[in-house]
């Protein structure tokens, strides 16, 4: 951001509507199954699960990072952690990409990625999220049953039993809506950004490259695939 992009308030407000809907879904499931949802303060299980952000989420998170974290040692420490995590994430994705080229099944690749752990650079030493109020949608939904395609997932710390029937968040539908908003945002920014509408970016890359949105499309980030 840093003055390199126009005012994106209208797009960010639309994204925040998706955030509110995600929060409402989470709270509805927690109200129905309070004894099964294990989310609590300083439970950082989801903060070690690798995941990527859509283009609109990436720009939104970076804008909030710029606004909420002042220049100084605090921000520098976060960026140092982001650099370490980004390097590790790149190595993991490179390995998975090579395995996919060798013919490994995509479901097996997804399972392998899910088994990896990467500490989010926004997770403080006290195991609290530094940007909790504006955390991504994936973080907000982690503690309740969710489905990607025809497969369901839930946090291992919950009381939800795999195979039982529960209200389940359709992450595919959520991601499709974010991709559609990302496409509108990229078109608004101009033809140099249109190709970025379908990228997914790790939090570490967002923090390191967000001051130049066009950089989000480089550095080993693959398009059209969400590993």
pLDDT at 5 exceeding the cut of 60: yes
Band the pLDDT of 47: cuts 50, 70, 90.
very high
**Residue 224 included in any domain:** no
| Closest residue by Cα to residue 57 from 201, 155, 172, 193 | 201
**Residue 34 included in any domain:** yes
Q: Are 139 and 129 in contact (CB under 8 A)?
A: yes
Interval 173-211: pLDDT, tens = 999 999 999 999 999 999 989 989 998 999 999 999 876
Q: Which of 63-67, 108-112, 139-143 has the lowest mean pLDDT?
A: 108-112
**Residue 4 included in any domain:** no
Count the domains in the chain. 1
> Residue 190 belongs to what domain range?
9-217
**Residue 33 included in any domain:** yes
**Residue 226 included in any domain:** no
**Residue 105 included in any domain:** yes
**Residue 66 included in any domain:** yes
**Residue 155 included in any domain:** yes
- CA-to-CA distance for 166 and 163, rounded, in angstroms? 9
Q: Are 36 and 159 in contact (CB under 8 A)?
A: yes
Mean pLDDT computed over every residue of the chain? 89
Cα dihedral angle (116, 205, 126, 71), rounded to 10 degrees?
170
pLDDT: which is higher, 61 or 153: 61
């Amino acid at each position: 951001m840093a003055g390199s992009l126009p005012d994106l308030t209208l797009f960010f407000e639309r994204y925040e509507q998706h955030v509110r809907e995600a929060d409402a879904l989470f709270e509805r499931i927690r109200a129905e199954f309070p004894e099964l949802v294990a989310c609590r303060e300083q439970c950082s299980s989801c903060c070690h699960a690798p995941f990527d952000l859509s283009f609109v989420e990436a720009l939104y998170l970076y804008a909030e990072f710029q606004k909420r974290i002042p220049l100084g040692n605090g921000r520098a420490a976060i960026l140092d952690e982001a650099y370490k995590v980004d390097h590790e994430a790149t190595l993991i994705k490179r390995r998975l990409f090579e395995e996919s080229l060798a013919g490994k099944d995509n479901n097996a690749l997804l399972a392998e990625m899910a088994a990896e752990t990467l500490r989010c650079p926004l997770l403080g030493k006290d195991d609290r999220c530094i940007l909790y109020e504006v955390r991504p949608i994936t973080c907000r939904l982690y503690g309740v049953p969710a489905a990607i395609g025809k497969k369901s997932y839930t946090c291992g710390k919950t009381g939800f039993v795999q195979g039982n029937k529960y209200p389940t968040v359709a992450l595919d539908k959520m991601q499709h809506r974010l991709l559609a908003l990302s496409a509108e945002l990229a078109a608004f920014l101009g033809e140099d950004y249109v190709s970025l509408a379908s990228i997914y970016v790790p939090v570490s890359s967002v923090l390191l490259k967000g001051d130049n949105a066009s950089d989000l499309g480089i550095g080993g980030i693959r398009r059209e695939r969400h590993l």
